[in-house]
Amino acid sequence: MRKFLEPYTFKNGAAVRNRIMLAPMTNFASADTGETTPEEREYYRERSRGAGTVITACANVTAGGKGFPGEIGVDRDELIESLGELADTIKGEGAKAVLQIFHGGRMAPPKLLPDEQPVSASAVAAEREGAVVPRELSEDEILEIIQAFGHATRRAIRAGYDGVEIHGANTYLIQQFFSPHSNRRQDAWGGTLEKRMRFPMAVVHEVLKAAEEADDKFLVGYRISPEEIEEPGITMEDSLQLIKELAAADLDYLHTSVMDFFAGSMRDKTDERSRVQMIQDTVGEEIPVVGVGSLHTPDDVEKAMESGTPFIALGRELIVEPHWVEKVEAGREADIRTELSVDDREELVVPESLWTAIVNRPGWFPVKEHAGK
């Protein structure tokens, strides 16, 4: 049997049927209110039949942290019912349901925010076209956002989720506090590496405190991007310090966010060591590590796990082939779909909003023009 098909039991007793996770991917399919929709739930249902764990698209913990149109909301109690409908859909197919919680920070589009003003650790714009200069958060606002992560966790518990994943990656607010590019503060929340770690760790401790209201098997994970290309930016040395702090906390897993599992540094092209492997080698004995990134075939996944990484998250692969896991289990690896056509949306149960993004972004997915071509 393939190693990734083996079950796993976390230290808190939570058991999953295999080592494959559905990676958290924005699908733009929630209602403008933040409520999950039937179309969105069917998308997750189709991909919950094989994976051991399903991590949802990110859900904003405050109205001012909304990062995408059609994003799941977890910022208000009235969203608990629709959040629960999604949790029930995922769990109904045998997978663990994990809600990813986040704040977009300076990456939030102004038009999605109540006051049209993104916020961040400092008033420094991202290095991208059209980036808006965010407003620097006050001390009181920082504390309110930390508390909002705790409130979001309590809502996830009430909605029936098996866990939450703290989104500390992909340039959003938690990473912005950790980054010397976006955090130029000279107070208790910035100025040194230790102070830049304060906000991420405060969120972790707030979420863990809220998770005490769930049963002992409630999972709390953390997702991290190991490096940034900007100068100044997050270095691997910075991240390894944060990773050690995260491993020492009572988290259940640490999820890396890279485009290629085997790729080396984005900052130093002469350093070809896998960032995921470096994290596994540093803290893998203390906390389960989730690897990800351009792992398409079962052989790719097996190779990635050879050096000890216990979990693999698949993203695009489970959009292109929702039954990836089931086909491996049935000995039908040759039948795994590796590309999609513009005619495949309904068969693959992909929301129209996500499908539009896929077909209009060349190179993101292996798309052929029509079936059979």
pLDDT digits 0-9 by tens, 244-257: 999 999 999 999 99
Which residues in 310-340 are b (16+ Cβ under 10 Å) and which e? Answer: bbbbbbbbbbbbbbbbebbeeeeeeebbeeb
User: What pLDDT score does 371 carry?
Assistant: 58
User: What pLDDT score does 1 carry?
Assistant: 85
Closest CA to 133 of 121, 149, 146: 121
Contact 208, 149 (CB under 8 A): no
Closest CA to 33 of 56, 59, 14, 57: 59
Residue 369 has a CB neighbour count (10 Å cut-off) of 10
Q: What is the DSSP letter of 15?
A: E
Each domain of the chain, given as residue ranges in start order, spans 3-338
Name the token pair of 141: 């606002």
Side-chain-side CA neighbours of residue 121 (13 Å): 28
User: What pLDDT score does 370 carry?
Assistant: 66
pTM for the model stands at: 0.98
Q: Which of 43, 44, 172, 253 is catalytic?
A: 172
User: What pLDDT score does 205 carry?
Assistant: 98
User: What pLDDT score does 85 carry?
Assistant: 98
CA distances from 236 to 224, 267, 279, 282 (A): 11, 9, 10, 12
Q: What is the pLDDT of residues 286-295, one digit of tens each?
A: 999 999 999 9
Low-confidence ranges of the chain (pLDDT < 70): 370-373
How many whole angstroms separate alpha carbon 313 and alpha carbon 315?
7
Q: Report the topology of domain 3-338.
A: TIM Barrel (3.20.20)
Task: For residue 44, indicate whether it is catalytic.
Answer: no
